[in-house]
Amino acid sequence: MRRVRIKDDALEQRVFLQRAMIAAGIVAALVLLISGRAFWLQVLQHAHYVELSQGNRARIEPLPPNRGILYDRAGRVVAENTPAYQLEIVRERAGDLDQALARLGRFGLLEPEDVPRVRRLVLSRRSFEAVPIALQLDDEEVARYAVHRHELPGVFLETRMARHYPYGPVGAHALGYVGTISEDDLERVDRERYFGTGVIGKTGIERAYEDELLGVGGYREVLVNAEGRPVEALNGAESQLRTVAPTAGRDLRLTLDIELQRVAEEAFAGRRGGVVAVDPDNGDVLVFASLPSFDPNGFARGISRSGYVALTENPDQPLFNRVLRGTYPPGSTIKPLMALAGLEYDVIKPADSVYCAGSYSLPGSRHRYREPKRGGTHGPVDMHRAVMKSCDVYFYRLANTLGIQRIHDSMARMGFGQPTGIDILGERGGIMPSPDWKKGAFARREQQVWFPGETVIVGIGQGYWTATLLQLAKATALLGTRGQPYQPRLVRALVDPATGNVEERKPRPLPGIELTRAENWEIIVDAMVAVTTGGTAARAARGATYSIAGKTGTAQVFSVGQTEKYDEKEVAERLRDHALFVAFAPAESPRLAVAVLVENGGFGSSAAAPIARAIFDAYLLPKAE
Amino acid sequence: MYEELSASRTRRTVTATARLLRALHLDGMLLAALAAVSCFGMFVLWSAAGDNTALWFNQLVRLGIGFTVMIALARVPDHVFRMLSPAGYAAGVALLIVVAIAGDVGKGAQRWLDLGVVRFQPSEILKLAVPMMCAWYLHQRPLPPAPRDVVIVLAIIVVPVLLIAEQPDLGTALLVAAAGLIVLVMGGLSWAFIAGGVALMGAAVPLVWHFLHDYQRQRVLTLLDPQSDALGAGYHIIQSQIAIGSGGVFGKGWTNGTQAQLEFLPERSTDFIFAVIGEELGLLGLVALLAGYLFIIGRGLFMATQCRDAFARLVGGSIALTFFVYAFVNAGMVTGLLPVVGVPLPLVSYGGTSFVTLMAGFGILMSLYSSRKLVG
C-alpha cells in the first residue's frame, strides 16, 4: 500500500523552525570560531606579528633567472646576457612617485617624455617590487647616480644580466628583441613568473620562445629594518633565511647562419627589401633578412621615447618585418609553378608553341594585356623558352586556359594564400585569389563576380595575388626537392644549460606533391636553369661553378596605361617596380633555396638576382682561407 | 507642556517612519543593520583605498544603486517572485551557456558578458535564481522532500554550478551551490541524506582535486604551508595575518595600518579588506563587524520563519544563510582558516555586482516578509 503524502503546512513550518534554529546555532559557532582566530592572532600572537610588521622583518628579494642564450647553426652566440648596471625603483620606498621621477629627469637619468610611460609601468606592478627604469647604464650615468644617490630614496643601482646582441642589426628581424615589460605584456603573462625580471621577448624568436627562454625565478629573504634598509642578520638568524636559486631558461640552437645572414644583408647595399634562404631538405631557415634593419640592443637597453619615434617614423620602416609580414605580388617568379600546373592539368604540352606578338587579348575583347619586354615580341615560344624569357603572352594564354579555380587549387597546394607556419608569431598569409575569395573579400558579396581578365593577370603573378617571401622560398624549395615541402623553422634544438639535455626539434614535412608524370619536374627545372644560363638572369649567374635554377620577377607597384611605355627613369623611385628573384642551387640536388625581393629595385634580373648569387657563393663554395 | 509637545512630536515622527517603512514594505531593523554595516564598510574603504578617492566614490554610487534595487524589489508582490522563478533560472542558465561560448576572457577566466553598454557576470543572477528555483520546485510538493524530489533539486543546482566552475570561478560556484543546498536542508532534508552527502563529499575530495586548475590546487597547498610559495599565493596569507595580528585589540588607528598603507597587503580594498579592519580597528573592529553580520543573519532567519508559505520561507532562509556563507568564507580566508577563494566580504569589499546582488536578495526577503499577514 502506497502512502499518499499531502502537504502539511503546520509540519513544514515546524521543520523549518527547527532547521532555522540549528542553522542559527551553527552560524553562532562559526562566528565564534572566526572571533577565536582573530583573538589568537591579535591577542595571543600579537607580539610576534608586531615584530614582523614593525621591527626587523624578512623582505623577499627576487633572484631573476638567466635568460636562455641563442646560438646560430654554427654555434656562434647571437644573443647573450652580459652584466650591466640597471636603475630600479621600489614604489613603496620612493616616497612621492611623481617627485621621484621628476628628480630622475633632472639628474639626466630619465628622459622627460618617458616619465608618463615609466609612471604607468611602476604603478602597474606591486609596490614592493623593484621596477627597472633604465636597463643598461653607461659609466657617465652611473657616476651621475652616485652623486645624487642620497636624493633618490627608493631608487637603486643593481647589477643585472642584460640582453646583448653581439651582431647588432644583423638578423634582428629573426631574433627579435627583448624590452621592458609593458602593461600590455602584463595582461597576457603570469605576473608571478616575472617577479624580478624586467624584460620580456617582444618580437621574433625572443617572443615566440619566451616561455622556454625565461626560466624560473628564485628569491632570497633579507632582513631589513623598519625603514626597509637591509641589515646584517644577528646571531645566526641567517640560517632561518631562505634562498631558492633560480633556474636558467633553455638555450636555443637556431637554424640561422649568422655569417651568411651578414653576407645577404651586405649584398643589399643599403636598398630596402628582404631575403629568405632555406635548406630544401628540412625547412631550416639559414637567412631571414628584412632591410633596413635596426639595432635590437637599443630595445634591450631600454629605448627612449624619442629613439622609438625615430624608428617608427623613418619612411624606410626599419621595424617592419618584410619577410614575415610583407605581402607582395609574386610577379613572374611563379611562372614555373604555372607551367607545372598547365602540365599537370594536361592543358598544354611542353612543345606546344604560342606566338608572342607583344600583347594578348581575350577572345571577343579589345583590351590588350601588354608584354613589357623592350622591343615588343618574343615570336614563337614553347614552354622552355617562355619560362627562360619570361614571356607574359604565353602565361596570359595559359592562365585563361586553366581558369582561376584550377590555378587557385594548384597554387594553394604549393602553400600560397596561407601562412607557412614558421615558428615565430605574426606571420601573414597573403592572398591566393579565387571567385570564392572575391565574394568574401569585398562588400556586397552577391555582386562580386570573377572576371576573365582577372584570371589573365593572375597568370603572371599580378592582380589580387599577394605572397610573402617565406611562401616564395617554401614553394621554390618544393621545386628543388621535386615535391617535398617542409614547414620553415628557425629553431633546431633546445638545450637545458644545467643538465646539458638537448631536445632536438624534428623537421616538419608537409604533405608532398605527387605528379602524375614525375618527369614534369625536370621539364620545369630545366627551364629554370635556362633562365640563369641564357635567360633573364644570365648576367647574375655568369661564372658560377654550380648550376642555378632560378626565375626573375617584377612586382608592379603602379599600373601603366594601355599605350604608355614604362620608363624606369621617369618614375619616382618609390613607385618603381619591386625586383624579385627565386632560385635554388645546385639545380640537380639543391642545398639552398632563396627568395629575394628588392623594394623599388626595378627588374628582378639586375637588382635581386645578384643578391641570391652572393648567398649561393658564400654557402656553396669552399671558404677561401 | 512644552516637553509633552516635543515628546508627542517624537512619537509622531516615530509612527510616521514606521508607516512609511510599512508602505514601502521595508523591515526597519534589517534596513538599519544593513545601512550600519554598509556605512562601516565605507568608513574602512576610505582608509583601504588610500589616495584612490575615485574608487571610494564609485563604491558610494554602487551603494546607492544597491539600496535602490532593494527598495524596488521589496515593493514587488511576493507571488511575482514565485511566478518568475523558473523563467529567471532558465534565463540565467542560458546566459551562462552564452558566456561559455562567446564571453570575454578577463584575467584568464571566462565570466563576463559584454552587452555593449554594460559588462556583467551572468553567474551573479544564479546566486538568487538557483535558490528561488529550488524553493519553487519544493514548495508545490510535500516537505520534507521525497528522495525523488531531492534528486531533481540536486540536478537543478548542479547544472549552473558546473557551468560556473568551468569558467573557472570556483568562489561563485561554491556560493551558488551553497545557496541551493541550503534550500534543501531548510526544507527538511533528512539527516541521513545530509550525513551521506557529507561522507560522499569527503570521498570525492581526490576526484575534485583532479579537476582543479593548477592555481586552485596551489591555493589549497599554500594554506597548509604559506612559506612554500612566499612570492605567489602564500604572500597574501602571510601578509594578511601579519596585518591582523599586529593590529591587536584596539588596532593601529584608522588610516594608520602600516601593512595596509605601505601596501604590503595585496587586494586590500577588495577581498582582503577584512585584514585592514583587523589592523587598523583591531579585535574590537572585527567583533563589531561580526556582531553586525550576526544581527543581519538572525533578523533574516527570523523573518523567514514568519513567512506564510514554504516558498517564501525557503528563499528567505537561503538568502540569510548565503549571506553568512559569504562572510564566513571571506573571513576564514583572510584569517588563514580557509584557502584563498575569490569571495568578497559582504557589504564591505569594493566591488559592484556582488553588492547589488546581496541587496537584491534582501529586497526579495523584505517583500516576502511583508506579505506574511495578508492571508489568514
Domain assignment present for A364: yes
Cα Rg of chain B (Å, integer): 22
pLDDT at position A613 over 70: yes
Beta carbons of A64 and A160 less than 8 angstroms apart: yes
**Grid cell for residue B375:** 492571508
pLDDT at position A319 over 80: yes
Name every residue whose Cβ is closer than 8 Å to that of residue B213 and which is 6 or more positions away in sequence: B168
How far is it, in rounded angstroms, from Cα A326 to Cα A320?
Answer: 8
Contact (CB<8Å) B328/A127? no
B 287-316 near A (Cβ less than 8 A): 287, 290, 293-294, 297-298, 301, 304-305, 309-310, 313-314
For B262, the closest chain A residue by CA position comes to A92
B198 touching chain A per CB within 8 A:
no
pLDDT at position B103 over 80: no
Q: Sign of torsion, CA B297 B299 B301 B303?
A: negative
Contact (CB<8Å) B317/A20? yes
pLDDT at position A56 over 50: no
Contact (CB<8Å) A38/B283? yes
Option in B187, B246, B328 nearest A54 (CB): B246
Best of A7, A8, A12 to mutate (most B CBs within 10 Å, chain B):
A12
Beta carbons of B153 and B180 less than 8 angstroms apart: yes
DSSP-derived letter for residue B146 is: P
Domain that includes residue A469, residue range: 321-482+518-620
Q: Phi and psi (nearest 5°) for A219?
A: -155, 165
Contact (CB<8Å) A46/B246? yes
Quickly state the pLDDT bin for A1 (edges 50, 70, 90): very low
Best of B140, B241, B244, B276 to mutate (most A CBs within 10 Å, chain A):
B244
Would you state the pLDDT for residue B114?
A: 57
Contact (CB<8Å) B264/A128? yes
pLDDT at position A528 over 90: yes
Quickly state the pLDDT bin for B239 (edges 50, 70, 90): confident
Q: Please compute the mean of the pLDDT values over residues B167-186 and round it to a whole number.
A: 87
How far is it, in rounded angstroms, from Cα B244 to Cα B282?
Answer: 7
Beta carbons of A594 and A276 less than 8 angstroms apart: yes
Contact (CB<8Å) B231/A192? yes
B345 touching chain A per CB within 8 A:
no
Total domains, chain A? 1
**3-class SS at A233?**
coil
Q: Please compute the mean of the pLDDT values over residues B161-174 and round it to a whole number.
A: 82
B 212-271 near A (Cβ less than 8 A): 227, 230-232, 241-249, 258-259, 262-264, 266
Would you state the pLDDT for residue B219?
A: 65
Q: Which residues of A touch B314 (CB under 8 A)?
A: 16
How far is it, in rounded angstroms, from Cα B1 to Cα B7?
Answer: 10
B 66-125 near A (Cβ less than 8 A): none
Residue with cell 581578365: A453
Cα Rg of chain A (Å, integer): 33
Which of A519, A624, A56, A596 is CA-nearest to residue A289?
A596
A20 touching chain B per CB within 8 A:
yes
Q: CA-CA-CA-CA torsion for B336, B340, B345, B348, nearest 10 degrees?
A: 90
Contact (CB<8Å) B245/A12? no
Which of A212, A206, A214 is CA-nearest to residue A177?
A206
Best of A2, A5, A18, A42 to mutate (most B CBs within 10 Å, chain B):
A42
Q: CA-CA-CA-CA torsion for B327, B329, B332, B338, nearest 10 degrees?
A: 180
User: Out of A290, A306, A332, A547, which one is annotated catalytic?
Assistant: A332
Contact (CB<8Å) A11/B143? yes
Domain assignment present for A422: yes
Q: Please compute the mean of the pLDDT values over residues A425-435 and round it to a whole number.
A: 92
Contact (CB<8Å) B310/A38? no
According to DSSP, the β-strands at A354-356 and A359-360 are unpaired
Q: Which residues of B touch A60 (CB under 8 A)?
A: 230-231
Quickly state the pLDDT bin for A440 (edges 50, 70, 90): confident
Q: What is the pLDDT of residues B182-201, one digit of tens each?
A: 999 998 888 888 898 888 88
Percent of chain B with pLDDT over 90: 41
Contact (CB<8Å) A27/B297? yes
pLDDT at position B370 over 80: yes
For A8, the closest chain B residue by CA position comes to B142
Q: Which residues of A touch B313 (CB under 8 A)?
A: 12-13, 16
The verdict on whether omega for the bond into residue B144 sits within 30 degrees of 0, i.e. cis, is: yes
Which of B94, B41, B73, B86 is CA-nearest to residue B296?
B41
**Mean pLDDT across chain B, nearest whole number?**
84
Name every residue whose Cβ is closer than 8 Å to that of residue A47 and which is 6 or more positions away in sequence: none
How far is it, in rounded angstroms, from Cα B185 to Cα B177?
Answer: 12
Q: What is the pLDDT of residues B308-331, one digit of tens each?
A: 888 999 999 999 999 999 999 999
Would you state the pLDDT for residue A96?
A: 79
CATH of the domain at A587: 3.40.710.10
A-B contacts (CB, under 8 Å): 147
Q: Is A290 a residue of the active site?
A: no
**Mean pLDDT across chain A, nearest whole number?**
86
Contact (CB<8Å) A35/B246? no
Q: Phi and psi (nearest 5°) for A91?
A: -55, -45
Q: Which residues of B touch A50 (CB under 8 A)?
A: 245-246, 248
Of A63-77, A210-224, A417-431, B123-137, the range with the lowest mean pLDDT is A210-224
Q: Please compute the mean of the pLDDT values over residues A9-38 and round it to a whole number.
A: 92
Quickly state the pLDDT bin for B117 (edges 50, 70, 90): very low
Of B114-118, B134-138, B189-193, the range with the lowest mean pLDDT is B114-118
Of A301-305, B86-90, B170-174, B336-340, the range with the lowest mean pLDDT is A301-305
| Shortest CA gap B250–chain A (Å) | 9
Would you state the pLDDT for residue A337?
A: 95
How far is it, in rounded angstroms, from Cα B63 to Cα B236?
Answer: 27
B188: left (phi over 0), alpha (psi -120 to 50) or beta: left
Q: Which residues of B touch A42 (CB under 8 A)?
A: 244-245, 247-249, 278, 282-283, 286
pLDDT at position A20 over 80: yes
Contact (CB<8Å) B248/A13? no
Quickly state the pLDDT bin for B174 (edges 50, 70, 90): confident
A 32-71 near B (Cβ less than 8 A): 33-35, 37-39, 41-43, 45-46, 48-50, 52-54, 60, 62
How far is it, in rounded angstroms, from Cα A266 to Cα A278?
Answer: 18
* Burial of A75 per CB tally in 10 Å (0-12, 13-18, 19+): exposed
A240 touching chain B per CB within 8 A:
no
Would you state the pLDDT for residue A481?
A: 94
Q: Which residues of B touch A128 (CB under 8 A)?
A: 263-264
Higher pLDDT, A169 or B209: A169
Q: Which residues of A touch B331 (CB under 8 A)?
A: 34
Query: Nearest 5 degrees, angle CA B215-CA B216-CA B220?
Result: 115
Q: Which residues of A touch B332 (CB under 8 A)?
A: 34
B282 touching chain A per CB within 8 A:
yes
Quickly state the pLDDT bin for A563 (edges 50, 70, 90): very low
Contact (CB<8Å) B263/A127? yes
Option in B142, B282, B337 nearest A42 (CB): B282
CA B207 vs CA A254, A602, B200, B212: distances in Å: 43, 68, 11, 9
**3-class SS at B79?**
helix
B110: left (phi over 0), alpha (psi -120 to 50) or beta: beta
pLDDT at position B274 over 50: yes
Count the helices and strands in chain A (H runs, E runs). 24, 21
Higher pLDDT, A124 or A501: A501
According to DSSP, the β-strands at A273-278 and A70-71 are unpaired
Domain assignment present for A450: yes
Would you state the pLDDT for residue B152?
A: 93
Q: Please compute the mean of the pLDDT values over residues B260-265 and round it to a whole number.
A: 64
Of A13-22, A47-56, A389-398, A491-500, the range with the lowest mean pLDDT is A47-56
A 80-139 near B (Cβ less than 8 A): 91-92, 126-128
Q: Please compute the mean of the pLDDT values over residues A92-121 and round it to a whole number.
A: 82
* Burial of B279 per CB tally in 10 Å (0-12, 13-18, 19+): buried
Beta carbons of B237 and B226 less than 8 angstroms apart: yes
Which of B136, B140, B216, B211 is CA-nearest to residue B180?
B136
Would you state the pLDDT for residue A110?
A: 85
For A290-342, give the secondary structure using H, E and C. EECCCCHHHHHCCCCHHHHHHHHHCCCCCCCCHHHHCCECCHHHHHHHHHHHH
B364 touching chain A per CB within 8 A:
no
How far is it, in rounded angstroms, from Cα A322 to Cα B26?
Answer: 69
According to DSSP, the β-strands at A251-254 and A70-71 are parallel
How far is it, in rounded angstroms, from Cα B31 to Cα A103?
Answer: 52
Would you state the pLDDT for residue B3?
A: 56
How far is it, in rounded angstroms, from Cα A468 to Cα A580?
Answer: 11
Domain assignment present for A380: yes
Got the DSSP string for A87-136? EEEEGGGSSSHHHHHHHHHHTTSS-GGGHHHHHHHHHHS-TTSEEEEESS
Contact (CB<8Å) A23/B321? yes
How far is it, in rounded angstroms, from Cα A131 to Cα A181?
Answer: 9
Quickly state the pLDDT bin for B2 (edges 50, 70, 90): low
Contact (CB<8Å) A20/B305? yes
Q: Which residues of B touch A91 (CB under 8 A)?
A: 263
pLDDT at position B291 over 90: yes
Contact (CB<8Å) B286/A38? yes
For A22, the closest chain B residue by CA position comes to B186
B 324-343 near A (Cβ less than 8 A): 324, 328, 331-332, 335-337
How far is it, in rounded angstroms, from Cα A284 to Cα A422?
Answer: 10
**3-class SS at A273?**
strand
A372: left (phi over 0), alpha (psi -120 to 50) or beta: alpha
